[in-house]
Amino acid sequence: MEYRRLGRSGVKIAPLCLGTDNFANPTPEDEAKVMVNRAIEAGINLIDSSNSYAQGESERIIGRALQENGRRHQVLIATKVHFPTGPGPNDGGNGRLHIIRACEDSLKRLQTDHIDLYQLHRPDFEVPIEETLAALTDLVRAGKVRYIGSSTAPAWKVMEAIMVSELRGTVRFISEQPPYNLLDRRIENELVPMCQTHGLGILPWSPLAMGILAGRYADAANFPEKSRAQLRGGIYAERVTARGIGVGNEFVKLAQKVGVSAVQLAVLWVKDQPGVTAPLIGPRTMAQLEHFLPVLEMLLDDEVRAACDELVPPGSAVANFHNSAPWMKMKLPE
């Protein structure tokens, strides 16, 4: 397996990362810990979480798992800050007070003395980026954070942070974590070329398009049991569209023709797209994790890439995976 450099940093990571949004919601702790161990054994060395996943329980499970297996030194812990963690006016966002407090709380839950990659879960349009970067720089200088990144931000906002860090001498983003899959390719228009030009790694989330690309959904109005759209509703349900389901069905046929599962092909497609460092896989069960792992050694050939481009042209979208980002004003036709 070839490890990939994360942006302009000295860090190398496996071409898949373990996402933990399902830990404790609904994956039980015992199974989650087994998944952590199996992922490390397979060579995955970045585990991604957030202080908002299951009200912090995802971080706690990761912390307990790494304490029990003694493998903290083998992995990079990535987590995030932004969403509210309490009722107070300073219990959310990207201001100094919240970032410093949230980092201390995450360190306790993770049972570690440092976070390897601390990411802004969303941009904050009310707090000056100078304040945010200054707080993150203080955490790096204190040894509590190694690197910083962002998630689900517009290209211009990431670029603003890069320029301010250059001008002010503050710590610099090494990565961006956007939504990206065959159904929503809009990051290819600006974000991907910006990251390639300025040396940021890309760690996409939702490569399976919530299972739409695996043929999980047959009807945009009736969701299968235990699907994310059925379990969580809201923005998750909004992502399931008739157009997306149509493409998903054609994608399943393409995967059958290629001789791999649609799940594996969906992740492989993201993994081997230009500019991508490593997509996040978010297995709910141990069986799902095992099914993902062969993708670590797979390569996407040009013929399959071209067939995918025919389903959804580069830079376009048939489902909205940016619907958790208020800055995305573009509405897709039904």
pLDDT, one tens digit per residue, over 109-139 is 999 999 999 999 999 999 999 999 999 999 9
What DSSP state is assigned to residue 279?
Answer: P
Residue 53 annotated among the catalytic residues of the structure: yes
From CA 320, how far away is CA 298, in angstroms rounded? 28
| Predicted confidence band of residue 237 (pLDDT cuts 50, 70, 90) | confident
| Predicted confidence band of residue 236 (pLDDT cuts 50, 70, 90) | confident
Q: 119: which 2 tokens?
A: 């990411």
Tell me the average pLDDT across 303-318: 98
Q: 313: which 2 tokens?
A: 């042209």
Residue 134 covered by a domain: yes
From CA 106, how far away is CA 78, in angstroms rounded? 11
Residue 64 sits in a domain whose CATH number is: 3.20.20.100
Structure confidence by residue, pLDDT tens digits, 63-79: 999 999 999 999 999 99
What is residue 82's three-state secondary structure?
A: coil
CB-CB contact of 187 with 223 (8 Å): no
CB-CB contact of 6 with 277 (8 Å): yes
The whole-number pLDDT of residue 223 equals: 73
Q: Residue 321: which H helix or E strand, with range?
A: none
CB-CB contact of 35 with 283 (8 Å): yes
Residue 320 covered by a domain: no
* Angle CA 105–282–287, to nearest 5: 125
Residue 190 has a CB neighbour count (10 Å cut-off) of 15
CB-CB contact of 150 with 123 (8 Å): yes
| Predicted confidence band of residue 333 (pLDDT cuts 50, 70, 90) | low
What DSSP state is assigned to residue 102?
Answer: H
**DSSP per-residue string spanning 152-171:** S--HHHHHHHHHHHHHHT--
From CA 179, how far away is CA 319, in angstroms rounded? 11
Residue 252 covered by a domain: yes
Alpha helices in 115-190, H assignment, sequence order: 129-141, 155-168
Residue 188: give the domain boundaries.
4-311
Q: Which pairs from 103-107 meet CB under 8 Å and 24+ separation?
A: 103/139, 103/144, 103/145, 104/144, 105/51, 105/56, 106/51, 106/56, 106/59, 106/79, 106/81, 107/144
| Predicted confidence band of residue 28 (pLDDT cuts 50, 70, 90) | very high
Number of domains composing the chain: 1
- Of 330, 331, 22, 325, the closest CA to residue 151 belongs to 325
Give the sign of the dihedral formed by CA 191, CA 195, CA 196, CA 202. negative
Residue 175 covered by a domain: yes
Residue 326 covered by a domain: no
Among 53, 118, 217, 236, the active-site one is 53
From CA 5, how far away is CA 48, in angstroms rounded? 17
Structure confidence by residue, pLDDT tens digits, 165-179: 999 999 999 999 999
Residue 130 covered by a domain: yes
CB-CB contact of 331 with 317 (8 Å): no
| Predicted confidence band of residue 254 (pLDDT cuts 50, 70, 90) | very high
Q: Given its phi and psi angles, is residue 217 left (phi above 0), alpha (psi -120 to 50 degrees) or beta?
A: beta
The reported pTM is: 0.96
The whole-number pLDDT of residue 184 equals: 98
As to burial, measured by CB atoms within 10 angstroms (0-12 exposed, 13-18 middle, 19+ buried), residue 193 is: middle
Structure confidence by residue, pLDDT tens digits, 178-234: 999 999 999 999 999 999 999 999 999 999 999 999 998 887 777 777 677 666 678
